[in-house]
Amino acid sequence: MAMIIRASLALFSRNSRCSKVSCKLSEIGGGRLFSCSSPLFTCSVTAAFTNMSPPKKICILGSGNWGSAIAKIVGNNVTKFDQFDNEVKMYVYEEMIDGKKLTEIINTTHENVKYLPGKKLPSNVVAVPDVLEAAHDADVLIFVIPHQFVKRVCQPLAGKLKPNTVGISLIKGFDLKEGGGILLISHLIKELVNIPVSVLMGANLAGEVADEKFCETTIGCRDIEIGRMYRDLIQTDYFRVVVVDDVEAVEVCGALKNIVATGAGFIDGLGYGDNTKAAVIRLGLMEMIKFCEVFYPGSKLGTFFESCGVADLITTCYGGRNRRVAEAFVKTGKTIEELEKEMLNGQKLQGPFTALEVNHMLKQKGMEERFPLFTAIHQICLKELPPPGMIDCIRNHPEHMGNLGSYMT
C-alpha cells in the first residue's frame, strides 16, 4: 500500500499542473480510505484500488450449538484480516423463546440462549431469519445445519448467489439417492447451489470449542488459496486448522463416526466397560476405512489419523450427543425421537439417521455382511435387534473370525 502512495506522489511532483497535493490516510474499520485535494491524485488512487478485491462477506447458515460456536470464532477473526468484511450474517431458523423472537434475542443480547446459552457472540454477528436475505450477497457460505435440512435451506438459494461464491460444509451425514446410493453432503450442496464446497471435520465438541479449550480440526480443500483463506477465517490459538486435499475421506470420517459413537453409547447403556467400548471403536474404525476403500477409492489412509478421523471418533464415542442419547435409549426404552426432544432441546441426532442412510446403500448393494457393526447399530436403532445384540456382533465380527495362519508362522 505504501508503494502505491509513493508512486502516485512522485508522478504528481513531476506534473506541472499539480504543484501541491495534500493527502490523508486514515483507518476505517480495518479498511483504508484516501482523501486528497487533487482530482488527478484521486483518480490515480481509485485506479489502483480497482484491481484489489473487496472484503469478502461471510454468511453462516445454521445457528445450533455448533453453528453458534463457529460464529463466535468467525465473528472475532473477520476483524483481524482486511480480506474479510467485518459483519457476519448468521441464518437463524426463527423460533419464539418466552414470547420473543430468537433472532431479536441474539441481536440484542449477543447470545444464542437456546442452543449455546451462557456464551457471548461477537456483536458483529447478525442473526437473520430469512435464508436468502442472509446469503444472497455472501462471498463465503459456512454450512452448519442438520443434514436432513440441507435441501430445504439450499433450494431458495439456487441461482441467487454471487458468481464467485465458495462454501465450506461442517455438516456430518449423507443424502439418499434414488437407486440405493448415497451422496456426500458437500456434493449435494454443490448440485443445489452450483458453488465449490470444501469441508471441515474434527474432534470439535461445540461446548468445548465455545469454552475456548484447545482442539484441532481438519479442512478438506483442493484449492490451496481457498484453503488458506479458510484457515485465516477459522483458525485461532485454541482452534488449530490442518488443511488436506483428501476431501471425500475427511467428509466420510465425519459422517461415519456418529454411527460408531451410537454403538459406543449402546455399550455404555448395557453397563459394559471401557474395554468393550474400545473394541467397538477399533472395529468401527476398521469399517470406516473399508467403507472409504470400497466407495471412495483413492482415499488416503493418513487422513484417518488427522483430527477428522481417529481423534474425532474417540471424542464422539466418549463425549458426544450420539453416545449420550444412545446410552439413554438402552436404559429407558424410549424412542430416538422422544430422547431428541428431551435431551437435545429439539435438535436432531445424526448417528441413527446416518446409519439408516448407510444401511440403505449397503442393502441395495448386498454388502450388509461386510459391515456388520454398522448393520447391527442400524437394526438396534429401529428396535429390530435388542441392544445386547451388539455384544454378539463384536464377538463374531469377521475381524475376529479370520484365519490366523499368516500371523503365526
Q: Which pLDDT does position 346 carry in this prediction?
A: 74
Residue 301 is placed in which grid cell?
489412509
State the average pLDDT over residues 284-310: 96
Domain with CATH 1.10.1040.10 in the chain: 250-403
pLDDT in tens, 187-201: 999 999 999 999 999
| Pair type for strands 56-61 and 31-36 | unpaired
Q: Which pLDDT does position 401 carry in this prediction?
A: 64
| Summary mean pLDDT of the chain | 88
8-state DSSP, 111: B
8-state DSSP, 53: P
Using the predicted structure, report yes or no on whether residue 372 has a pLDDT greater than 50: yes
- Closest by CA to 125, choosing from 64, 65, 74, is 74
Q: Which pLDDT does position 347 carry in this prediction?
A: 78
Beta-carbon contacts of 106 under 8 Å, excluding residues fewer than 6 positions away, are 63, 90, 92, 112, 113, 121, 125, 127
- Pick the range with the lowest mean pLDDT from 4-8, 215-219, 349-353: 4-8
Contact 220, 61 (CB under 8 A): no
Task: Concatenate the DSSP letters of all residues of 250-289 into one string.
Answer: HHHHHHHHHHHHHHHHHHHHHT--HHHHHHHHHHHHHHHH
User: SS3 of 358, please?
Assistant: helix
257 classed as catalytic? yes
The CATH architecture annotation of domain 250-403 reads Orthogonal Bundle (1.10)
Measured distance CA(219)–CA(47) in Å, rounded? 36
pLDDT in tens, 169-185: 999 999 988 776 889 99
Using the predicted structure, report yes or no on whether residue 2 has a pLDDT greater than 90: no
Domain with CATH 3.40.50.720 in the chain: 56-245
pLDDT in tens, 219-230: 999 999 999 999
Binding residues: 62-67, 149, 172, 206, 321-322, 348, 350
Using the predicted structure, report yes or no on whether residue 348 has a pLDDT greater than 90: no
Sign of CA dihedral 225, 189, 256, 345: positive
Tell me how crowded residue 346 is: count the other CB atoms within 10 A of its CB.
11
pTM: 0.83
CA angle, residues 201, 206, 99, in degrees to nearest 5: 130
pLDDT in tens, 56-67: 999 999 999 999
Measured distance CA(244)–CA(256) in Å, rounded? 19
Residue 305 is placed in which grid cell?
489419523
Q: Which of 257, 277, 290, 383 is an active site residue?
A: 257
pLDDT in tens, 107-159: 999 999 999 999 999 999 999 999 999 999 999 999 999 888 999 999 999 99
In CATH terms, the fold of domain 56-245 is Rossmann fold (3.40.50)
HSE value, Cβ hemisphere, 13 Å, CA-based, for 210: 20
- Pick the range with the lowest mean pLDDT from 47-51, 208-212, 230-234: 47-51
